[in-house]
Amino acid sequence: MSTPRRAALLTLGCARNEVDSEELAGRLVGSGWELVEADPGADPDAGPAPDVIVVNTCGFVEQAKKDSIDTLLAASDVAKASGAKVVAVGCLAERYGAELAESLPEADAVLGFDAYPELAERLGDVLGGHAPAPHVPVDRRTLLPISPVQRPAAVADVAVPGHAWVPDLSRRRLEDRPFAPLKLASGCDRRCAFCAIPSFRGAFVSRPPADVLAEAAWLAGQGVREVVLVSENSTSYGKDLPGDTRALVDLLPRMAAVPGIDRIRVSYLQPAEVRPDLLKVIATTPGVAPYFDLSFQHASPAVLRRMRRFGSRTDFLDLCERIRALAPEAGIRSNVIVGFPGETEEDVAELEAFLTGARLDAVGVFGYSDEDGTEAAGYDGKVPADEVAARVSRISALVDELMTQRAEDRIGTEVTVLVEQAEDDDFECTGRAAHQAPEVDGECVFERGSGLEVGDLVRAVVVDTEGADLVVSPREILPRAVSAAEDPAAAALGRG
């Protein structure tokens, strides 16, 4: 009997990339490959060395690109000891293709999204010394019809990572966590002046509701209690599904009813597209986290127009007020960009006024930098790099203070926490409440001696804060719902 070929997967970037990696893992296992650790030499019990190290790269901003290059170089160093091959996939590979291959000979192959359906075969070619020609990038927006409603008929001929749903074949979990991202859609039709994502992720494509529900039921069977819906723009979900303009409003209650799933979280909402019915269903549906990940980016109308976005301080504050009128303890988070071309001191002051008034739970602050192929890269009025850095420091300091204050507002309130790290000699017991998303927001820290286990869902009271983090005291461990794996009747829900 022949030994199966072995592959290791390393993932960088966002939760969307995590889903893509788990789809690639499913494809490889379904083709007879074995998944192993990338560097077993670092752990004597890790098992055999890989034949191929696949690095799922990120190509969003300059720092992400650098991290991806560094990971590829590190993987190459590990591979030299065992003779393994290194293959680059993901957004950086899709975006730069042959250019990346030429500048990084340490990678034995650079594969774009179109190679994903036959990844096992392509890796076999690499091992056989017949590496495919490096991917040649194209603007993936041109691969599907301009009209969204014409896309469902055409999408079968275009590789869309994270959309190939076949139970136990097209997804294999790579981390044993009680939460998991689930792709709602891919691509984006917006034309924000600073963003290159649509050019390499393509036009917006919704997944059919039945696929989303079926995958949620499958995840419940894998022990997942919280599903995080991810996309480039979740508020556009359904616009390419014939006759369905309320797709997300209709989908969320159905997802919340999937047995075994205790919490649904929606990420990546565009403020200008949040209609009253969507706001209400997120804020008030049991089982849906009252959590609003709103892409404000700025608050100055002048800067937003140059970004090719919409809104103002008044508009955004009104949206926050409407959310809290429905759910006073709702979590609201966002990202902002400072130093955008043409940004004035008055614009920065407008952003400060918005942040002070909005009292968001979490804010990511980013300094503007030119991105290849974007409209803003050709703008005049560039802010000097040292001034961009000064504005980042200034807004970050304000945000840190405001986030701490917002956390303190929650002292004495009750939260429901999903435990993600059990207490041991080195770590405190930690988890996340409904207003905290994985990795990008604060966390809840339990008092020592709680005795909780990973995957417990706990009703707790906030007793103190540590910056943006909450210190909580447990009151009750909530029962785990019956999953689709335990109740065959539940599986029908995902097929409805």
Which residues are known binding-site members?
14, 58, 91, 188, 192, 195
Is residue 15 within a helix (H) or strand (E), and if so which, with residue range?
A: helix 15-30
Q: What angle do CA 306, 335, 418 make, to 5 degrees?
A: 155
SS3 464: strand
Residue 264 pairs in a beta bridge with 227, 288
- Residue found by looking up tokens 């429905």 in the block: 326
Q: Greatest CA separation found in the chain?
A: 71
d(CA 435, CA 427): 23
Cα separation, 59 vs 5, whole angstroms: 29
Instruction: Say if residues 402 and 463 touch (Cβ distance below 8 Å).
Output: no
Residues in the chain: 496
Euclidean distance between CA atoms 202 and 187, whole angstroms: 5
Question: Which residues 6+ apart lie within 8 Å of 109 measured at CB?
Answer: 85, 87, 88, 101, 122, 126, 131, 132, 134
Please, is 152 exposed, middle or buried when counting C-beta atoms within 10 Å of its C-beta (0-12, 13-18, 19+)? middle
The distance in angstroms from the start CA to the end CA of the chain is 42
Q: Binding site membership for [4Fe-4S] cluster: which residues?
A: 14, 58, 91, 188, 192, 195
Question: How far is it, in rounded angstroms, from Cα 316 to Cα 303?
Answer: 14
- Three-state secondary structure along 255-310? HHCCCCCCEEEECCECHHHCCHHHHHHHHHCCCECCEEEECCECCCHHHHHHCCCC
Pairwise CA distance, residues 243 & 257, whole Å: 24
Distance CA 279, CA 266 (A): 11
Q: Where are the alpha helices (DSSP H) in 104-228?
A: 119-127, 151-154, 197-201, 209-221
